[in-house]
Amino acid sequence: MGFSKGLFLRLARGGVVAAEVYDVVIVGAGPAGLTAAIYCVRSGLKAIIVGKVVGGQAAEASLIENYPGFKSIAGFELTSRMAEQVEELGVSIVGDEVVGVKEEDGLFKVRTSWSGELRCRALILAIGAEPRRLGVKGEEEFRGKGVSYCAVCDGPLFRGKRVAVVGGGNSALDAALYLSSLAEVVYLIHRRRQFRAVKALVDKVDGRSNIVKLLGKSPVEIGGDRLVEWIKVRDVETGVEEKIEVKGVFIEIGRAVNSDFLRGFVDLDEYGQIVVDQLCRTSRRGVFAAGDATTIPYKQVVIAAGEGAKAALSAYEYLSSRG
């Protein structure tokens, strides 16, 4: 089957059987969750996926050029192929939002908005993370048309062009350094007079001649015709505005993990990320986590997929040990 872009499934094939106890419930339908499902099936486990959007954030990437096996592929196409493979293996994908989880009577109970409660013996959390938005005019209009939230994913599309990076933390400076090896000029825009990144990164940025630092500047608008052509910034002290001609705007102001429903259930770090060990185990026995919502560094599709496989294998080992 194929998926239309932006699909929000209310109920996928097979639906939810309230009385059924699954071996594994996978929360999240992005690359980590989809890969976890494939490995669960291969291990002989009965699994079900519940997630709001098939493909997650990866489905919105205009082009992915660093996933093994593909010179380049649209994020939507890659994640659609993953989802099709999952369904061909007999795993249902329930398009719903998880609003609560608890452990009771030796089982995990996953509460959803519409589809009722799912019960399982092991749980894999692959809820993903969403990039924080600037909230300026033109940001949504040009998303995927020059506005990007992933320099590694989309940077090669702007080789030899002028681009802007918005942010002042480690991720923003990392993005600027990466893009400086591809782009003609990188404008690094930060509303404060000093970067928040570690000194080592700041020193590296200072050493790149094609990175132009615009400190004390706040973005107010992104514009162009069909694609991004400029970004407008305002001096935070004088209020003076200026347009900077760029073909790409990379927004690197952090990511948000919607993990409030997990507080008190598993350990989270100060950013709301799920704390895991090298085997994707959380602080609660029988609960595993994978993908961008965890403390594992480097938020990339291929890493999320690998962590999803690892979480499934760890879940299998855990269930096998229970007999």
Return residue ranges of the chain for CATH 3.50.50.60: 21-129+257-322, 147-251
Catalytic member of 40, 96, 120, 153: 153
pLDDT over threshold 70, residue 310: yes
Q: Tokens 């995927």 sit at which residue?
A: 144
pLDDT of residue 11: 37
- Is 120 an active-site residue? no
Give the CATH H-level superfamily of domain 21-129+257-322. Answer: FAD/NAD(P)-binding domain (3.50.50.60)
CATH of domain 147-251: 3.50.50.60
What digits encode the pLDDT tens for the residues 91-115? 999 999 999 999 999 999 999 999 8
Q: Report the range of poorest mean pLDDT among 27-31, 77-81, 130-134, 241-245.
A: 130-134
Residue 238: C-alpha distances to residues 66, 70, 217, 235, 277 (Å): 42, 48, 10, 6, 48
What digits encode the pLDDT tens for the residues 261-300? 999 999 999 989 999 999 999 999 999 999 999 999 888 8
The predicted model gives 295-306 an average pLDDT of 92
pLDDT over threshold 90, residue 64: no
pLDDT of residue 18: 57
The whole model's pTM is what? Answer: 0.74
pLDDT of residue 59: 84
The predicted model gives 63-68 an average pLDDT of 84
pLDDT of residue 72: 87
- Is 206 an active-site residue? no
Catalytic member of 150, 174, 280, 292: 150
Mean pLDDT (the chain) is 91
What digits encode the pLDDT tens for the residues 5-56? 333 333 343 455 556 899 999 999 999 999 999 999 999 999 999 998 899 8
Where does residue 4 fall: left (phi above 0), alpha (psi -120 to 50 degrees), or beta otherwise? beta
**pLDDT-derived band of residue 153, with 50, 70 and 90 as boundaries?**
confident
Catalytic member of 96, 154, 174, 292: 154
